[in-house]
Amino acid sequence: MKIVAITGKEQSEIKDVPDPVIRTPFAKIKITRVPLCTEWKNWVDGSVSETLGHEAVGIIAAQSHFRPSIAWRTAYRRWKRTSRSA
């Protein structure tokens, strides 16, 4: 996959890195838009970073096989039972 990295003072580049491994209960998201918040300050100062943008938007590219725990299923069933009677 490709990432944008700050490599020096007012310098950035697109790098190829290995695809992440998906683990339960996560999904891999294909990022379509990433606004930069305060990362522009790192770009101006030259603080090297490969983690830019924390408010990304995208689509699910792949997902792990998620099996909810027994405690989670029990709580959900209890909630569903009580919400029907309300």
pLDDT at 35 (0 to 100)? 80
Extract the tokens encoding 81. Answer: 């039972």
The DSSP call for residue 46 is T
More confident residue, 47 or 54: 47
Evaluate if residue 38 carries a pLDDT over 90: no
SS3 of 8, please?
A: strand
Which pLDDT band, with edges at 50, 70 and 90, does 16 fall under? very high
Who wins on pLDDT, 69 or 36?
Answer: 36
pLDDT at position 69: 65
Cα separation, 5 vs 2, in Å, equals 10
